[in-house]
């Protein structure tokens, strides 16, 4: 299920009491315009502001899923997207419930791509908590569900496996998975096969490499990869750009480069931090690392920065 279809339905739900779209009726120009704005919210500003609306859409579509197979697949895509927005907003319990629903609907309606997508997201969530075993398990399940995964998805799954292996302290598994991710991405041609994968490219692969190597304890390799991610991020991916800078700031702070780490954090805060709990947590972690390296390092700055990183739901 293409992410654009979910966003079109989300846009329609926001403008009409009757759910729009069917296989016979395409999106109107007005809906396409709303989709562009929604994508800007998600990619530039984070997902916190979309949690409520995405939950509403998932529930509305689920009510029609059994009566119409097309809506069943759309409901599965909506549930997966609701899970992602909850995960990005720092609501892991809600995210897991929505991913479970997405997997149930994917199985019921034979939607293998959405099942693989959900598992890829769950692998990232597991790796973010340090659970490498679960991350690798989700990747293996995704590959079993979608053994003929196209190049971008194959690359993403290999990178998510690298995160899992890194947290398991499996150096060989980490490096094999990273090579597989790089090879698959190099073999990809043109844009990603599905719109939700369009974020995946050299910058995010470098970010995965940085996190996997950091989990292994290879700090120099992780720092090089984080710098590569910061340098390669596309201009429109503001949330990811902030995430990469926060990752690099934390690695620099661990090495004792506190002034450079602070400059990175300050630059992000001045530009405006996205409403993404994941991004803000990564920035807060960098501040914590700076404090740990030097407890007397500008305490007023630390307090003010932490205050600016609190996610406030409007």
Burial 52-71 (b: 16+ CB within 10 A, else e): ebbbebbeebbeebeeeebb
User: In the block, which residue shows the tokens 């844009």?
Assistant: 191
Phi (first) and psi of residue 22, to 5 degrees:
-155, 170
Question: What is the arithmetic mean of pLDDT over 228-245?
Answer: 93
User: Tens of pLDDT along 21-38?
Assistant: 444 444 445 544 554 555
Who contacts 94 (Cβ-Cβ below 8 Å, separation ≥6)?
51, 55, 83, 86
CA dist 176 to 130, 162, 215, 226, Å? 19, 8, 15, 19
Mean pLDDT of the chain: 83
52 — pLDDT class (breaks 50, 70, 90):
low
The span from the CA of 160 to the CA of 243, in Å, is: 17
Residue 84: name the closest of 199, 212, 236 by CA. 199
pLDDT of residue 117: 94
* Domains recognised in the chain with CATH numbers: 111-236 (1.25.40.10)
The span from the CA of 161 to the CA of 177, in Å, is: 6
- The overall pTM is greater than 0.85: no
Helices (H), 129-201: 132-145, 151-167, 171-187
User: Tens of pLDDT along 178-205?
Assistant: 999 999 999 997 777 677 888 899 999 9
Query: Is 63's pLDDT higher than 90?
Result: no
Residue 127: name the closest of 174, 85, 89 by CA. 174
- Residue 155: is it exposed, middle or buried by C-beta count within 10 angstroms (0-12/13-18/19+)? buried
Which is more confident, 192 or 89?
Answer: 89
- Residue 227: is it exposed, middle or buried by C-beta count within 10 angstroms (0-12/13-18/19+)? middle
The span from the CA of 129 to the CA of 281, in Å, is: 12
User: In the block, which residue shows the tokens 């990005």?
Assistant: 88
């Amino acid at each position: 299920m293409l992410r654009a279809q979910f966003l079109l339905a989300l846009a329609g739900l926001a403008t009409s009491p009757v759910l729009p779209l069917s296989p016979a009726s395409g999106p109107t120009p007005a809906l396409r315009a709303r989709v562009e704005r929604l994508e800007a919210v998600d990619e530039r500003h984070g997902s916190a502001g979309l949690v409520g609306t995405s939950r509403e859409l998932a529930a509305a579509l689920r009510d029609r899923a059994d009566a119409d197979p097309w809506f069943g697949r759309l409901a599965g895509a909506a549930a997966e997207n609701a899970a992602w927005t909850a995960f990005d907003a720092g609501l892991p319990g809600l995210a897991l419930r929505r991913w479970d629903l997405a997997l149930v609907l994917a199985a019921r309606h034979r939607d293998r791509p959405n099942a693989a997508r959900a598992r890829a997201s769950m692998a990232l969530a597991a790796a973010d908590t340090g659970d490498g075993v679960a991350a690798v398990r989700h990747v293996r399940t995704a590959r079993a569900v979608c053994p003929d995964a196209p190049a971008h998805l194959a690359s993403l799954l290999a990178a998510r496996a690298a995160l899992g292996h890194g947290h398991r302290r499996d150096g060989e598994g980490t490096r094999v998975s990273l090579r597989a991710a790089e090879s698959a991405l190099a073999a990809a041609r043109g844009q990603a096969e599905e719109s939700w994968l369009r974020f995946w490219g050299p910058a995010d692969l470098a970010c995965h490499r940085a996190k996997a190597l950091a989990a292994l304890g290879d700090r120099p390799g992780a720092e090089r990869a984080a710098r590569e991610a910061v340098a390669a991020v596309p201009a429109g991916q503001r949330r990811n750009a902030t995430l990469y800078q926060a990752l690099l700031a934390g690695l620099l702070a661990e090495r004792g480069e506190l002034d450079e780490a602070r400059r990175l954090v300050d630059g992000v805060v001045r530009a405006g931090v996205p409403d993404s709990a994941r991004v803000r947590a990564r920035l807060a972690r960098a501040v914590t690392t700076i404090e740990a390296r030097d407890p007397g390092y500008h305490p007023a700055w630390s307090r003010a920065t932490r205050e600016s990183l609190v996610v406030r739901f409007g």
